[in-house]
Each structure stands twice: as structure tokens, then as C-alpha cells.
Amino acid sequence: QSVLTQPPSVSGAPGQRVTISCTGSSSNIGAGYDVHWYQQVPGTAPKLLIYLNNNRPSGVPDRFSASKSATSASLVISGLQAEDEADYFCQSYDISLSGLYVFGTGTKVTVL
Amino acid sequence: QVQLQESGPGLVKPSQTLSLTCTVSGGSISSGSYFWSWIRQPAGKGLEWIGRIYNSGSTSYNPSLKSRVTISVDTSKNQFSLRLSSVTAADTAVYFCARVVARAFDQWGQGALVTVSS
């Protein structure tokens, strides 16, 4: 029951730039709520990658950046590296009956 | 650094109640303005927020699960717990506990696989 829509997959060669979109609605991103991003290597727990739209926790490389607009957000990986191959999820707050915290459908990043 | 660890049975029979506990170490569950949450992920699928609790015991639940979910906190043990009743195969998933800061999940447990099967 993911409320935020992401592309199922993106891919790129090492060193390339990839962008992952996250589309919401007027009850979440469009209502002004912040967007957060998580990286999940298969078999492990998600890791907070970006918080409050465009902030990196300590230890997250600066090749990860993000932005937010009206009802959507984007995560950019500049200079793709092999270790970036993982699933990425966006997340926001929601005021509808979808639940307070809603996640994106997830995007698999493949490094060619 | 705060660490979270889920524990509980890995196998639950249909119609029974799933029970998991999250133990918080490296910090007090009572300190700071944090919510504590449960999130689940069926195999190969996305993340679903289940509910949250504050150290005062105040809770909020996902409407889709609200009739079956209870989250409680035991500050003396630095733990919070999840109970999900009347489970079916659709409740089979990896269950994560997590800390909520600024409406983001900044610390996660490693996850506990719970399978619903007879």
C-alpha cells in the first residue's frame, strides 16, 4: 500500500549520474511535509540516507543529494559506485487515512 | 549510538497473535522527544508503517492495521513491543523497529522475520 510512487529500477555505469523520482500527493509531499530517503542493501535494514529533503547524516557521501518540489522529490547519485547498488525508498508524512508515515514503492539501482 | 534489536518467535500460526519486542541500548527510551515505531516488509516488497509509541505510552497506528495492532512500552526495561492479532499469511514479513526523529526513521533494528504458517 505504498502511497509514494517511484520508478521500479534505474541503472547506470560507474561514474554516471542517476536520478530517482518520488511522486506524492496533496496529503503528503504536496501538503508541505518533508521527504526522507533510505538505502537498503538486500538482507539488511534500511539506512537513513537523506533527511528533511536535502540533508545527509554524518558518514553519507556527498555524491548523494536530493531535492523536493510541489508534490514530488528526487534523489541524485552523482558518480555512481558499485557499492551504491541497492534499493532506495522515499518516505514522507501523510494526513490521509494511509497512515502517518508513508513510503515510496522503492527503486532498485543497478550499477552496470 | 542508540541500537535497536528485535526479538520474538519466528513462526506464528494463522489466527494467533504475533508478538515482538524491541530492546533499545545505548540510550534511554524515555529521553528526548522520540517516537518509537514498528515497520514491516514482506519479502521482495516495500515498507509499511505499522504504528508508533511515545515514552508516555501515547500511540498511533496505521488505519489499515489499527483493529489488530497494539504497541506498548516498558521504560524500566528500555523496550517497546508489538502485538498483531488474528494473523494470516499476508502478515508474513520482516518486522523492523525504528526510532523516529523529525518524522524520519534514523535508527533501525536489524529486522526479525516472522512467518505465519500452520
Over residues B6-35, mean pLDDT? 95
CA distance A65 to chain B (A): 17
pLDDT tens-place string over residues A82-103: 999 999 999 999 998 877 899 9
All three cell numbers of B55: 515514552
Q: Is the pLDDT of residue A74 over 90?
A: yes
* Residue numbers in A near B63 (CB within 8 A): 97-99
Task: Label residue A1 by pLDDT band (50, 70, 90).
Answer: low
* Residue numbers in A near B110 (CB within 8 A): 44-45
CB A102 within 8 A of CB A54: no
Residue A17: other Cβ atoms inside 10 A: 11
Indicate the burial class of B76 (C-beta count within 10 angstroms; 0-12, 13-18, 19 or more). Answer: exposed
Substitution target from A5, A9, A100, A108 for chain B, most B beta carbons within 10 A: A100
Mean pLDDT, chain A, integer: 96
Test B102 with A105 for CB contact under 8 angstroms: no
CA distance A42 to chain B (A): 9
Over residues B48-61, mean pLDDT? 94
pLDDT tens-place string over residues A2-11: 789 999 999 9
Rounded distance between C-alpha atoms, residue B12 and residue A112, angstroms: 41
pLDDT tens-place string over residues A8-34: 999 999 999 999 999 999 999 999 999
Q: What is the DSSP letter of A56?
A: P
What is the pLDDT, as a whole number, of residue B74?
Answer: 95
Test B108 with A45 for CB contact under 8 angstroms: yes
What is the pLDDT, as a whole number, of residue A96?
Answer: 87
Over residues B46-75, mean pLDDT? 95
